[in-house]
Structure 1
Amino acid sequence: MPRASLQAGITNELTIKTGPEHSARAFFEHLPDVFATPVLSGFMEKVCAELVQKHLEPGEQSVGTAMDLKHLAPTPLGMNVTIKAELSKINGRQLIFRLEAYDEVEKIAEATHYRFIIDVEKFNKRVAEKAAKESN
Structure 2
Amino acid sequence: MENVKVGLKAKIETVAEPKDSAVNYGSGGVDVYSTPAMVGLMESAAKKAVDTFLPDGYTTVGIKLDIKHLAATPIGMKVKAEAELIEVDGRKLTFKVEAYDEAEKIGEGLHERFVIDSEKFLSKLNNKTIK
Match of 1:46 in 2: 44
* Root mean square deviation, CA, Å: 1.5
Match of 1:72 in 2: 70
- Which AA in structure 2 matches 1:34? V
Q: What is the identity percentage for the equivalent residue pairs of Structure 1 and Structure 2?
A: 39
Match of 1:121 in 2: 119
Match of 1:37 in 2: 35
How far apart are 1:27 and its partner, in Å?
2.1
List, as ranges, runs of 4+ consecutive aligned residues in structure 1 with deviation greater than 6 Å: none
1:1-136 → structure 2 map (5 Å cutoff): 2=1, 4-28=2-26, 31-130=29-128, 133-134=129-130
For 1:116, what is the secondary structure of its paired residue?
strand
Give CA deviations for 1:70-91 in whole Å, capped at 9, x if unaligned.
0000001111111111000000
Q: State the alpha-carbon separation in 2 of the partners of residues 82 and 66 from structure 1.
A: 20
How far apart are 1:5 and its partner, in Å?
2.6
For 1:39, what is the secondary structure of its paired residue?
helix
- Which AA in structure 2 matches 1:81? V
CA contact (8 A) 2:5 2:88 kept: yes
Which entry has the higher C-alpha Rg, 1 or 2? 1
How far apart are 1:30 and its partner, in Å?
6.0
How far apart are 1:125 and its partner, in Å?
1.6
**How does the TM-score come out when normalised to structure 1?**
0.90
For 2:112, what is the secondary structure of its paired residue?
strand
**How does the TM-score come out when normalised to structure 2?**
0.94
